[in-house]
Amino acid sequence: MRVLVTGGAGFIGSNLVDRLLADGHEVAIVDDMSSGSNRNPEAALHAIDVRDPALADVTEAWRPEVICHLAAQISVRTSVADPVHDARVNVEGTLNVLEAACRAGARKVVFASSVAVYGRPAVIPVPGDAPTDPRSPYAASKLSGEVYLSAYRALHGLEYTTLVLSNVFGPRQSPEGEAGVVAIFTDALLAGRPTILYGDGSQTRDYIFVEDVVDGFARACGTEGNGRRFNLGTGVQTTDRELHTLVAAAAGAPDKPGLAPARLGDLPAMAVDPEPAREGLGWRPRTDLATGLKATVAWALSRLSTTRP
């Protein structure tokens, strides 16, 4: 199968490219390289923005059967500060991908959405059919992408599967910018720098290892899950304080975070129900948090050893 991965040099995208190549697929990458740096040399790289009209020509020349669309503006805070930029990347960019997919005769688009579309859910773990309640421009732009996927399926017969991602962590995640807290804790603890918990440390999140996420994408590239959305998470809530203890243990570092006031707008709790993905994709999370953290710390240590003089 020929697969085009947008954002294929980024954290999740590069891990997905590796998995698809290992499965024997032909893979091409579209990435503007503004933040991604993990390009697999076995996959052809097209260094363009997903908003670029040239995407249609690139896609038509490659003629992928499936497009995995992960390229995005991912910062909630950036989306609040500049919602127009967020929409241009996440809405206009997704539309450009869908137009390119139709022109190239692609069979399917697999779309990376976010738990942000649920807002402040009434039930946790959030079921797959929970109502959406976007509370930031980023969440609104992701939900817009889901709506456009449905419209293009109705209009053009372009199949899709939407994967709603919880808090993904693992090797290659950068601690810079709008990074996940696992990467931030890992980088600071290995460097002996202070770490911070916001509020009393009781905020919860659902942490899913990147290898499990890319397994979901790989499965969705087939015919399973057409026209559906699935949560990719564990359904398990882990507090910030518990997470810090686990990362510190994996890093062999002191478990002594500092405290800071809670940040306005942070959700108190989040976890998603992965059961529909088991039924619809044959997918389930396989990596427990402690095991995933050990692999993440090992990768971070290997990266440090190659960058030190």
- Mapped onto helix, strand or coil, the DSSP state of residue 23 is coil
| Alpha carbon distance 224, 227 (integer Å) | 9
Q: What is the pLDDT of residue 176?
A: 79
Cα–Cα distances (Å) from 277 to 126, 144, 152, 233, 284, in that order, read 13, 22, 23, 9, 7
Check 118, 138, 152, 207 and give the catalytic one.
Answer: 138
Residue 304 has pLDDT above 90, yes or no: no
- Peptide bond preceding 125 in cis form (omega within 30 of 0): yes
Active site residue 138: yes
Q: What angle separates helix 289-307 from helix 240-251, to the nearest 10 degrees?
A: 50
Q: What is the pLDDT of residue 178?
A: 58
Q: What is the pLDDT of residue 5?
A: 98
Q: What is the pLDDT of residue 137?
A: 95
- Which residue from 41, 48, 10, 12 is spatially nearest to 27, judged by alpha carbons? 41
Structure tokens at 38: 């993990």
> pTM here?
0.95
Confidence of residue 306 (pLDDT cuts 50, 70, 90): low
Residue 179 has pLDDT above 90, yes or no: no
- Which residue from 156, 280, 152, 148 is spatially nearest to 220, judged by alpha carbons? 280
Q: What angle separates helix 11-22 from helix 210-220, to the nearest 10 degrees?
A: 60
pLDDT digits (tens, 9 = 90+) for 184-241: 999 999 999 999 999 999 999 999 999 999 999 999 999 999 999 999 999 999 999 9
Q: Taking a C-beta distance cutoff of 8 angstroms, is the pair 55, 67 a contact?
A: no
- Mapped onto helix, strand or coil, the DSSP state of residue 170 is coil
User: Which residues, at least 6 apart from 51, have a Cβ–Cβ distance to it below 8 Å?
Assistant: 88, 89, 92, 93, 96
Mean of the pLDDT values across residues 261-274? 90
Sheet holding 44-46, edge to edge: 44-46, 26-30, 2-6, 66-69, 108-114, 159-165, 228-232
What mean pLDDT is reported for the chain? 94
Q: What are the start-end ranges of the E strands in the chain?
A: 2-6, 26-30, 44-46, 66-69, 108-114, 159-165, 167-169, 196-198, 204-205, 207-209, 228-232, 238-239, 258-260
Confidence of residue 39 (pLDDT cuts 50, 70, 90): confident
| Alpha carbon distance 190, 254 (integer Å) | 10
Residue 307 has pLDDT above 60, yes or no: no
Mean of the pLDDT values across residues 66-90? 95
